[in-house]
Amino acid sequence: MDLSRYQDFIASKALGSVNHGFRPEALPGRLFAHQKTAVEFALEKGRAGLFLDTGLGKSGCEAVFADEARRATNKPALILTPLAVARQLQRECEAFGVEARVIREAEEVWAGVNIANYERLPRLDLSRFGSITLDESSILKNYTGTTKRALVEAFKDTPFRLAATATPAPNDHMEIGQHSEFLGVMPGSEMLTRWFINDQTEMGTYRLKGHAAKSFWAWMASWSRAASLPSDLGGDDAGFVLPPLTVKKHVVGVDLSQGREEGMLFRIPDASATSIHREKAATLAERVARASELANAATGAVIVWCERDDESAALTAAIPGAIEVKGSMAPDAKEAALDAFTFGHSRVIVTKPRLAGFGLNWQHADTMVFASLSHSYEQYYQAIRRSWRFGQTRPVNAHVVIAETEHAIWRNVQRKATDHDRLKRAMAEAMRGAQNEATLRVAYARASVVTLPDFMKGASHGA
């Protein structure tokens, strides 16, 4: 084994990730201080995660990273985005002086920055790209999903990799592990073995070992940057403090005598998926009536969130001029409908958080109505942040409509919200400390020049 290979072997055993990139000489002056810090870090690492909360300017960081990486590799750069976000990201690139093109097919790839929806991945020759950026990279959390496996495999040899998403849930350790695996830092399974223990109170979950916390956050800080506010990365919070958000719960009464079990006076739904599905169907009319009333009474743009196709159809019919986006639509039709709302051609949009809850900027709307709610706090949080984000100048009102039988769902979402806020603060503090301290072991690297003692020199000369 030669010396360089040995040094690479030793570096691979270090606790922190090694650098694969370069120090940029000059970055666009339009970057905020926290964005500049994040981009400089990502370029020096070469393979990095940027966990910047919604509204902190991830798109600008992605644009500059991709542009710098294509210069360094002399190969095209690729940014993958959720549906309907590609054009929005192209406009962000232009704002930072980065020329980017939205592509759909392999023939459209050019030498600069290319932007495509995730759905277009199978149509592209990925070996042509010198860098890959995953916009809204939380798509990786689907641990066994074909998309996650395809992304990890497709880009395992790509020199520059960036994964950008809002601050991951600090207790969603699988998501962190999938990012680490995509970036080639450490397999998710090894991360769990090293720093986590099975949580016996809840199947399939892990908790951080108490004595391993400092080491874990230091390891994360070696390959990622996380921030809830610019000050987490040394920036200025002025302008990033959002206007008030008011969440108002609307409880609608339902006929509890319908669908009751034999011998029971009232219908008492349980927490099973089957029961929730049945209850959604039984209370659809009441929830739709209240939600459509709220949407129709509001002035300006309104986002109406739902969970089921029958809810979506009923809401669209009850709200004059509303445009609907549903999963069965062709991708082009979805994109056109999303753009219609984004650019103000339609006042009201009716859709689901899992379809439009990620990546879209809808600050022009200050009213949203949840006609239906699931147990997923992440979907609820991301839906809220479509309009309650950087650039929003007005107070935002979120109306949550639930049936009187759905209090358990609302309580669960509220509990998760409290847990998420608490853990996110803890994560920010831990990451801030780790980002500011050189607490990682540095891989030992011997000098390549070896000085031989005189007696060995003499032996060598006599040979």
> According to DSSP H, which parts of 74-118 are helical?
86-95
Read off the pLDDT of each residue in 405-420 and give the average, rounded to a whole number: 84
**Is pLDDT of 264 > 70?**
no
Report d(CA 136, CA 357) in Å as an integer: 11
Q: Roughly how many angstroms between the first and final C-alpha of the chain, as a whole number?
A: 25
452 part of a folded domain:
no
Other beta carbons within 10 angstroms of residue 331's beta carbon come to: 13
How would residue 3 be classed by pLDDT, with cut points 50, 70 and 90? low
Same domain, residue pair 312 and 334: yes
**Is pLDDT of 265 > 90?**
no
Report the mean per-residue pLDDT for the chain.
Answer: 84
Q: Which of 294, 344, 351 lies closest to 319, judged by CA? A: 294
pLDDT of residue 212: 83
Between 276 and 296, residue with greater pLDDT: 296
Same domain, residue pair 133 and 212: yes
Tokens read off for 109? 């790839």
Report d(CA 163, CA 334) in Å as an integer: 25
Q: Is 142 exposed, middle or buried (0-12, 13-18, 19+ CB in 10 A)?
A: middle
Strands 196-198 and 206-208, sheet pairing: antiparallel
Report d(CA 382, CA 413) in Å as an integer: 13
**Is pLDDT of 109 > 90?**
yes
How would residue 453 be classed by pLDDT, with cut points 50, 70 and 90? low
447 part of a folded domain:
no
Cα-based distances in Å from 203 to 199, 200, 406: 7, 7, 24
Phi and psi, residue 159, nearest 5° = -60, -45
1 part of a folded domain:
no
463 part of a folded domain:
no
Between 256 and 109, residue with greater pLDDT: 109
Same domain, residue pair 319 and 410: yes
Region of residue 132 (left: phi > 0; alpha: psi -120 to 50; beta: else): beta
Within 13 Å, how many C-alpha atoms sit on residue 12's CB side? 9
445 part of a folded domain:
no
How would residue 408 be classed by pLDDT, with cut points 50, 70 and 90? confident
Look up the pTM and report it. Answer: 0.79
Cα-based distances in Å from 417 to 11, 238, 379, 420: 40, 25, 11, 5
Lowest mean pLDDT among 88-102, 131-145, 218-232: 131-145
Per mean pLDDT, which of 8-12, 152-156, 262-266 is the most reliable? 152-156
**Is pLDDT of 171 > 60?**
no
Other beta carbons within 10 angstroms of residue 19's beta carbon come to: 16
pLDDT of residue 348: 97
pLDDT of residue 444: 40
Q: Which of 284, 287, 306, 401 lies closest to 352, judged by CA? A: 306
Q: Per the structure, how many domains does the chain have?
A: 2
How wide is the angle at C-alpha 173 spanned by C-alphas 170 and 176, nearest 5°? 90
Read off the pLDDT of each residue in 147-159 and give the average, rounded to a whole number: 87
Percent of the chain with pLDDT over 90: 47
Tokens read off for 61? 């960081």
449 part of a folded domain:
no
How would residue 446 be classed by pLDDT, with cut points 50, 70 and 90? very low
Report d(CA 205, CA 216) in Å as an integer: 17
Q: Which of 63, 421, 33, 15 lies closest to 221, judged by CA? A: 15
CB 91 within 8 A of CB 115: no
pLDDT of residue 215: 87
Tokens read off for 95? 């704002």
Q: Which of 332, 336, 329, 286 lies closest to 311, judged by CA? A: 286
Read off the pLDDT of each residue in 79-97 and give the average, rounded to a whole number: 91
65 part of a folded domain:
yes
Amino acid, res. 406: E
**155 Cβ contact partners less than 8 Å away, ≥ 6 residues apart:** 126, 132, 161, 182
Same domain, residue pair 201 and 54: yes
Tokens read off for 391? 């650039």
Report d(CA 407, CA 278) in Å as an integer: 15
14 part of a folded domain:
no
pLDDT of residue 101: 97
**Is pLDDT of 225 > 60?**
yes
* pLDDT tens-digit series, residues 310-363: 999 999 999 999 999 998 998 889 989 999 999 999 999 999 998 887 878 899
Read off the pLDDT of each residue in 370-398 and give the average, rounded to a whole number: 90
Question: Which string of DSSP letters, residue by residue, matches 391-447?
Answer: T--S-EEEEEEEETT-HHHHHHHHHHHHHHHHHHHHHHHHHHHHHHS--SPPPP---
CB 49 within 8 A of CB 61: no
How would residue 254 be classed by pLDDT, with cut points 50, 70 and 90? confident
Same domain, residue pair 221 and 359: no
Report d(CA 303, CA 370) in Å as an integer: 8
Q: What is the CATH number of the domain that holds 411?
A: 3.40.50.300
CB 151 within 8 A of CB 135: no
**Is pLDDT of 259 > 80?**
no
Cα-based distances in Å from 366 to 286, 348, 384, 424: 24, 12, 10, 25
Cα-based distances in Å from 396 to 157, 238, 246, 364: 44, 19, 6, 10
Between 236 and 9, residue with greater pLDDT: 236
Report d(CA 212, CA 87) in Å as an integer: 43
Report d(CA 118, CA 359) in Å as an integer: 13
Read off the pLDDT of each residue in 421-441 and give the average, rounded to a whole number: 66
pLDDT of residue 98: 95
Same domain, residue pair 94 and 52: yes
Same domain, residue pair 138 and 51: yes
86-95 helix and 58-73 helix, angle to the nearest 10 degrees: 80
Same domain, residue pair 108 and 181: yes
Q: What is the CATH number of the domain that holds 223?
A: 3.40.50.10810
Same domain, residue pair 399 and 269: yes
Residue-number span of the structural domain to which 172 is assigned:
19-237
Report d(CA 45, CA 444) in Å as an integer: 18
